Each structure stands twice: as structure tokens, then as C-alpha cells.
Chains A and B, each alone.
Chain A
Amino acid sequence: MNLAIRDVRHNLGRFGLTALGIGLLLMIVMGMGGIYQGIVEDATLLVDELDADLWLVQAETRGPFAEVSRLAPTLEDRALAVPGVVSARRFATHTIQREHGGRQMRLVVVGLAWPQDRGEWLPLASGRRLAQARFEFVADESLGLSVGEKLRLGRDVYTVTGVTRHMIGTGGDGLAFFTVRDAQTIQFELSPEAIRFERESRRARAQDLDLGLTQPALLERAGRPVETLPAIGPAMVSAVLVDLGPGADGDAVRATFEGWPDVSTYTSDEQRSLLLEGPVDRARRQIGLFRALLVLISALVMALILYTLTLDKLHDIAMLKLIGARDRVILGLVLQEAFLLGAIGYVIAYVVGMQVYPFFPRRVIITNEMLIWLAGAVAVLCLIGSILGIWKAMRVQPNEVLS
């Protein structure tokens, strides 16, 4: 006869409510782990999906995900000239916040190197990839945009051609994929007045430079659109992504790039590590700490509940001892209830969590490893939480029945 099951059955309402409370607490512990995993995956998503062999970024910087990185667009052609390189793609990214449909919308603008990269690798939920060089983009579903919807950014209107799923930036904002040219326009577009000021400034700068004095044609071109002036225009791309050919000597190619004074070179793994150690690190540590505190609180709550459940049965335990019950019978009663509480709480945490997590503002990713870890943690919590109750139960004397 299982005494624990019978006790639970007898106190079903109370036990159920307690299990629900434990379950909700465990759901938060599980959710914190899922948020942590989501942050890591969101942070490394682009690096993983772009899958470049080397990242060329502004010299002495850690790349566009860690800080501002500005490179001249001509770097793409220079990189292509290096033996072993089969492709070089311009890459631009920056975050903007605009009002759309009466709400504030933050989106991470990602510039893809048209026409080499049309977003073939994007996980589309609906619509299509980029099909033209200008005024189209693919948006993540978290932005709330649908295929065919138009979005005004600056003076231009862009049309959503496709919707991705789970393409989130480091800060939790949805990604929007444009061509690099559109991304640059969105980033650097100035008001007409600012453009006139910039042209005048550019002419003034060119006149003061030897370059301007020795090459008068440059002065003439200083007033043209900025993207036609790579020499004196601002650097417009965040990075250049380099792919190596089969059999290429990666170390040699990298050594070549590292000889260039205007770039720093990273592999995808290094970019990934920089992301995890950089912008994500503090959030990761904070969530880790919060999670550890939640586990501690769960342990205390479970210990208190199990202790109280045991206290309620002290007279019965004394009676069982009086009629000669072995310690293992008493131990089994307390432990089995603890594990039952933990198991039911765990199931509640999983079931409720799966319904609730999609509504969290940040992505919550629950992996099998995480579920196994939590199951182990719950088992340990049950064991630790039972210690106080077991200690109390073992101290009960059978003569307490007589009192």
C-alpha cells in the first residue's frame, strides 16, 4: 500500500494547489533558461546564418555587433583580389526606430550584398526573397508586418516581399533584410538641407586637401550623390564577408588581410565568441544570476511546503512508528510526496510554459538539454527540500501518540 498516494488523494485540493504554485515557480525557472538560450541564439543567429569564412571589419574594432564599424565599400573589390577568396559580400547593419501604423517599431536593418546575396538562406514563413535591387525587404514576423505591406523609411517606400520566423537581433528587435544600398540609404539619408550643408562641407574639405588641389575633377564631383564618391564619401558598410575557395589556405588569406592597416579580421567563430562575451554577456550573467536565485527560492519554498506537509502528519507518523513501521516506511512517505510534488510541478511548468512563452517579448527557447537539466534540478530540489521534513519525521517519538 502506498501511503504517499493515499495521503495525496486525501488532500487532493490542497496538494493540487501546492503543485500548481510549485509548477508556476518552475515555469519561471524554465522560462529564464529559455530566455537565456533565446538571447544566445538571437545574438549568434546572423553570424551563423551568413556563414562567412572571414569577417573584415573596421580596424581596431570588434565588428558591427559589438560597436560601430565603418568600412569603405571598395574593400569588397580589394578583398576579391586576394588569392583564395571566391566571394566578398558587403554587409551593413544598424537599428532604427520608426512609427508605423500608430505604434513605435524598432527594427534591425540588415543590408545584403545584392545581387550575390538575395536572402536565399532566410527561413521564410511566407512570401518570397528579394527580387530587385531597390525598395524591397524581407521582415521578421515579430515586426508585425505582412507580405505586400508598405513601409515608409525616410523619403522612400519599401515593400515587404517575405516574412521570416525567429530572425531576431541581439537586442531582441526583429530583423529586416534590405539590399546594402537600401540599408545605406536608410542609414545615411539626410534631409535636403543637411545634404546641401554636407556638399558645401565636402567642397571646403576638398579645397583644403592636396588631393583637391591636385585633382580639380574631385572638386567638381564633390557635389554629386554621396554613393558615387567612394574616395571622399563616408564609409558606408559595416563589414565585408569573405568566403574562401575550396583548398584555399585560410591562414595565408587571413595573414594578408591582417597586413592591411584599415581592417581587422575575424572568423565566424571569433565573431560568435565576441558576441557572447560582449553585448550578450551582461544580460546572460544577469539572467543566470536571476535564475540561480529562483532555483534557491524554489528550494526554500519546496522545503517549507514539504516541511509543513510533514508537520501535518506528525501524529500519524508517530502512530506508524508505534505500530512498528521501519524508518524506510516513514522516509518513503515523505520522499515520495516530495517527488510527486516535484513531478507534477514539473509537468505543470512544461505545459503552462509552452502556452505562455510565445507571448513573452523575447524569444524563449526550451531545448531538450534544458528540460533534462531542469528535471534533474527538480529531483535535487525535492531531495534537499525533504531534508527538513525527514529530519522532523525521524525525530518524532511513538510516545507522542499518547500525548
Chain B
Amino acid sequence: MNAPSDHPAIETRGLTKIYGSGNTEVRALRDVTFTLNRGEVVALLGPSGSGKSTLLGIVGLINAPTRGEVMLDGTPVYRDARALVDVRRYRRERIGFVFQKSNLIPFLSARENVQVALEIAGASGRNARRRSMELLETLGLSDRAHHLPRALSGGQQQRVAIARALANRPSLMLADEPTAALDSERGRQVMGLFRDLGHQQGAGVLVVTHDHRALDVFDRVLEMEDGLLRDATVSDLTAGATNVGGSQPGEA
């Protein structure tokens, strides 16, 4: 993992994203300012179309904002729509992504899907193979390492995707509905992994989720509505929900 720094994993100021123009203009983000510290595991909630994925895309250096500033580990990466760093390199070396769909490359085996992320980041073939097997073992997939994604169940595919995201020991993990396709047992395991990554390895973790059952895993909850971001209280949101994380924030 990248050496922990004193700077927040994410810091945004006045983040605004506008799609289209004129009559078709849509403001997906409105002046969003927030901070995600290293070692912090944060949930991002909100209804569909509220701007969660847009925010995730911007802090994940996939899309540029229209206005505002983004800093990762204290380094300014976006000022308005202008990228100030090699965003692809940042993604390669510092950010892990997990999506609702596993997005595994269909012509690579489970191990190779993890290995490719390591090799892209510059690891030698031998080290990449060793590390990818370690990760798959950790996720209970060592016996499926040589299977193609189509031969894996949905849960197994998602775990391979998580192994790929963890491969380069990212300082920032971004997840978009990572448990949507999983049963509650698997969902709990995945959320536990994110919690461990944040609390034990000091990464900043931002998870977009609709699953209120897992909110007790998170240190903090943010809620988006109509492009505006606000802090939410876990107890309010989890009232009546089942605890699937298995532990309270800060326990791990």
C-alpha cells in the first residue's frame, strides 16, 4: 500500500458537475465540499440520480468536474475541468474500484484478472502471480484461480473484482453498490473487507450503497440529494435495519 500520509484521502471544494447546456442542462453536483480521511470508511447514500455515481467518478479521476477542486492525499488533482496530474497513473497506483457488476475481463482467468492490475502498475510477472494468488487465497478463491469469470458464481466474480481492487494496495477504495448482486452473507463479508482495508491498512474507503442493513460498518454516512451532499446520522438511517456488517464503526 502507498505510505499513509497526514493528508486526507479525498478533499473536495466547491465541486460542481453540469451535464448538457441550455434547456438540457443538468446539475449533477452542486458545490460539494467534503473530506474523507485515511483509515475512514464512509457510506454514500441517496436516491437514484442524486449524483452519487457522478461524485464517485470525479474523485476516482474517471470524470472531470465542471468547477471546483479535488485533492487526493493532499495533491491537487483537478482544478475545475483541468487535470493537474496524470490521472491514469493515479488510478493505477492509488485507487481501487469495485462496481455493482464485477467487470472482470472475460478472457482472463480469476488469477489473471488480478494479475493484470498488478502488471499494469509495473509489477513483474512472477511477483504479480504470487500476489494475486495470495489475494485470492485471502478471499477464499484459491481453488477457482484458474477459472474464467463465466465459470464463477456472481459472488465469486465480485470477490475477484475486490481482489483486483486491492491488488496494488490502494490508498483510496471506491465502491459503487458492491453488494447489490450478493446475498446477505456475501454482502457482509465484502463490507467487512472494506472495513478492514480502511481500519487496518489506513486506506480511505467510500462506498455508494443502498443497503441500509450494512450501515453499521461505516464510520460516517453521507447522503446526497439533487446534487447536494450532507452528513447523515447512522442511527437515523439504520433504524429498523438488519445489521449485516457484524461490527460497529471503529471496532476493527
A interface, CB within 8 angstroms of B: 1, 3, 6-7, 9-11, 315-316, 319-326, 329, 397-399, 401-402
Contacts and interface: CB of A to CB of B under 8 A. Distances in A.
Interface in B83-119: 88-93, 97, 99, 103, 105-108, 112, 115-117, 119
B151 interface: no
Interface in B119-142: 119-121, 125, 128
Interface in B142-158: 148
Contacts of A324: 88-93, 120-121
B62 A1 contact: no
Overall SS of chain A's interface: helix
Contacts of A326: 88, 120
A329 B121 CA distance: 11
Contacts of B125: 1
B238 interface: no
A323 B120 contact: yes
Of the candidates B92, B105, B128, the one having the most CB atoms from chain A within 10 angstroms of its own CB is: B105
Contacts, number: 66
Contacts of B108: 1, 3, 6
A312 B62 CA distance: 22
Interface string B24-65: 000000000000000000000000000001000100001100
Given A320-B120, A323-B97, A323-B116, 4 more contacts: A1-B108, A6-B112, A9-B107, A320-B105
B73 interface: no
Overall SS of chain B's interface: helix
B193 to A, nearest CB: 18
Given A323-B164, A324-B93, A402 B99 contact: yes
A244 B187 CA distance: 99
Interface of B: 53, 57, 62-63, 88-93, 97, 99, 103, 105-108, 112, 115-117, 119-121, 125, 128, 148, 164, 176
B106 A10 contact: yes
Contacts of B176: 402
Of the candidates B62, B89, B90, the one having the most CB atoms from chain A within 10 angstroms of its own CB is: B62
A311 B195 CA distance: 38
27 contacts: A1-B108, A1-B112, A1-B115, A1-B119, A3-B116, A6-B112, A9-B107, A10-B107, A316-B107, A320-B105, A322-B91, A322-B97, A323-B116, A323-B164, A324-B88, A324-B89, A324-B90, A324-B120, A324-B121, A325-B88, A325-B120, A326-B88, A399-B57, A399-B62, A401-B103, A402-B53, A402-B57
Nearest to A7: B107
A322 B62 contact: yes
Contacts of A3: 107-108, 116
B203 to A, nearest CB: 16
Contact of B116 (A1, A10, A402): A1
Nearest to A11: B107
A402 B107 contact: no
B57 A329 contact: no
Contacts of A323: 91-92, 97, 116-117, 120, 164
Of the candidates A7, A315, A398, the one having the most CB atoms from chain B within 10 angstroms of its own CB is: A398
Contacts of B89: 324
A329 B105 CA distance: 14
